[in-house]
Amino acid sequence: MAKLNTATKKESIYTHEGAKAQHINAYQQLRRSVCSCMLWESEFYEDGKTIADRIASLVKEVPAEKVAYLAIEAREKFKLRHVPLLLLRELARQGYKKTAETIGKTIQRPDELTEFLSIYWKDGRCPLSAQVKKGLALAFPKFNAYALAKYNRDEKIKLRDVLFLCHAKPKDDEQKEVWKKLIDGTLEAPDTWEVALSSGKNKKATWERLLSEGKLGALALLRNLRNMKEASVDEKIIFEALNKVKTDKVLPFRFIVAAKHNPWAESAIEIPMMSAMSQMPKLIGTTIMIIDVSGSMYDSSISKYSEVDRANAACSLAIIVRELCEHPIIYATAGSDATRIHKTQEVPSRHGFALSDAIYTLCLPLGGGGIFLKQVMDYVYGKQGNVDRVIVITDEQDCGISSDDSPSKAKIIGKHNYLINVASARNGIGYGAWKHIDGFSEAVIDWIREYENIE
């Protein structure tokens, strides 16, 4: 008699380059799609709509509590702005009972109130759920007059519209008066660099005043260095501002972009990037760091409006990892799609932007193919033997299509073995024997330290 109760064999899945990928659960799939996602922006292998649709679909398969935690984590630790709002929208669709609480924690800037509603109504205008109204009402009182005025823009959905819809309650009489001005359109224009410069005043004097008074946030400062230079702003004032600015909400690759466009200020830009790391504990022992410099890493930007590609993001992480490792050994790797052979080279263990430059200049010389994890690990083991940890930074698009070259057969040479994914593609390779981490903020390094401390 034939046996009917047999195990169901999972259908094989593959990376975009043809290597066999790992099956993972719905939460892992959601996390890899979220943590390095510039929402609705196309990547090398997938368009933004595909990624956004996958995220929305996966939310239905993951416990709401985990989705809520991921939304908050994506905003606070990974410094992403739009994809957490999509997660909030999907939680509202699912009727999650703590949607309001999650909205209140996730939204951290006034313009995220209006952007959330634009996402909420992306498929057509509809009534706001009670939880959404409550969540917006929790978030709205966070913002003072300056913040509300700064983001009070003449757009389709305005801050006053949010206030009318959610019926938020002011904390005190002062806030009540601020909200009245917001509704009446009489809220005073804030002293921001945009407002100050549009007033027609002397640009040099305006920039120097804003810098001296600490009126520029880190991102605004980095993005406007070239404008300050063109306005003949005193470099001493610029450098002093860079030395003092808080960078806790700036993604690491922003510094690389700023230095690229402002070589005159490179050494000063390095100071805030490196200073936070000087106080952090080191990862003890020998660390092998392997950076994927294949075509898909450098041949498309992470955002439609950005010159930054995933290789830049990987290089910025490499700078951080290098500083936090007691004994780092660094390799860049790529290869040839045609020959299916890797090409790997050791990188000088430099500091800061010098390390980033050394890695990035190997993007073309090492080939345009994807990563060959099996081959590169064999190569590195032949050079170094067993080590304390291995950290691979990649978009996971492995080219090892033969069974002998499968990424699942990559040699495990570290006591700890991590694969950091910096893309949002559906399938990846870094699971199983690897500790898989998603994202391109310094939070991934915090995860490694915490994990090893627990062990």
Helices (H) and strands (E) in the chain, counts: 22, 6
CATH number of the domain where residue 290 is located: 3.40.50.410
Q: Is there a domain that residue 10 lies in?
A: no
- The residue out of 243, 271, 299 marking a domain boundary is 271
Q: Is there a domain that residue 328 lies in?
A: yes
Q: What is the pLDDT of residue 1?
A: 46
Q: What is the pLDDT of residue 425?
A: 62
Q: Is there a domain that residue 16 lies in?
A: no
The C-alpha atoms of residue 37 and residue 31 are separated, in whole angstroms, by 10
Residues 290 and 436 in one domain: yes
In the block, tokens 């702005």 appear at 81
Residues 237 and 377 in one domain: no
Q: What is the pLDDT of residue 313?
A: 84
CA angle 113, 118, 121 (to 5 degrees): 125
Q: Which two tokens stand for residue 195?
A: 């407002």
Residues 262 and 294 in one domain: no
SS3 of 347, please? strand
pLDDT along the chain (455 residues), means of 10: 51 53 72 72 58 88 96 90 94 95 97 96 93 97 94 93 96 96 91 80 91 90 94 95 87 86 94 79 92 83 66 88 92 90 94 93 87 93 96 84 84 93 67 80 80 75
- The residue out of 124, 150, 184 marking a domain boundary is 184
Residues 288 and 149 in one domain: no
The C-alpha atoms of residue 277 and residue 311 are separated, in whole angstroms, by 21
Q: What is the pLDDT of residue 430?
A: 60
pTM value is: 0.74
Q: Is there a domain that residue 86 lies in?
A: yes
What backbone phi and psi angles, to 5 degrees, belong to 166? Answer: -100, -15
Residues 165 and 233 in one domain: no
The C-alpha atoms of residue 259 and residue 256 are separated, in whole angstroms, by 5
Q: Is there a domain that residue 15 lies in?
A: no
Long-range (24+ apart) CB contacts under 8 A made by 323-327 are 323/274, 323/277, 323/278, 323/351, 324/277, 324/280, 324/281, 324/282, 324/283, 324/445, 324/449, 325/282, 325/283, 325/287, 325/289, 326/282, 326/283, 326/284, 326/285, 326/286, 326/287, 327/285, 327/286, 327/287
Beta bridge mates, 292: 333
Residues 361 and 411 in one domain: yes
Q: Is there a domain that residue 20 lies in?
A: no
Q: What is the pLDDT of residue 3?
A: 53
Q: What is the pLDDT of residue 346?
A: 96
Q: Is there a domain that residue 21 lies in?
A: no
Residues 218 and 340 in one domain: no
Q: How far apart are the first and last CA of the chain?
A: 50
Residues 31 and 94 in one domain: yes
The C-alpha atoms of residue 6 and residue 2 are separated, in whole angstroms, by 10
Q: Is there a domain that residue 427 lies in?
A: yes
Q: Which residues, 6 or more positions from 310, have their beta carbon under 8 angstroms from its beta carbon?
A: 44, 296, 297, 298, 300, 302, 395, 422, 423, 440
What would the DSSP string read from start to end of 87-131?
Answer: HHHHHHHHT-TTHHHHHHHH--SHHHHHHHHHHHTTT---PPPHH
Residues 147 and 252 in one domain: no
What is the residue range of 84's domain? 26-184
Give the residue from 304, 283, 317 showing the smallest Cα distance to 414.
Answer: 283
- The residue out of 247, 271, 295 marking a domain boundary is 271
Residues 264 and 378 in one domain: no
Residues 253 and 325 in one domain: no
Q: What is the pLDDT of residue 190?
A: 84
Residues 267 and 289 in one domain: no
Number of domains observed in the structure of the chain? 3
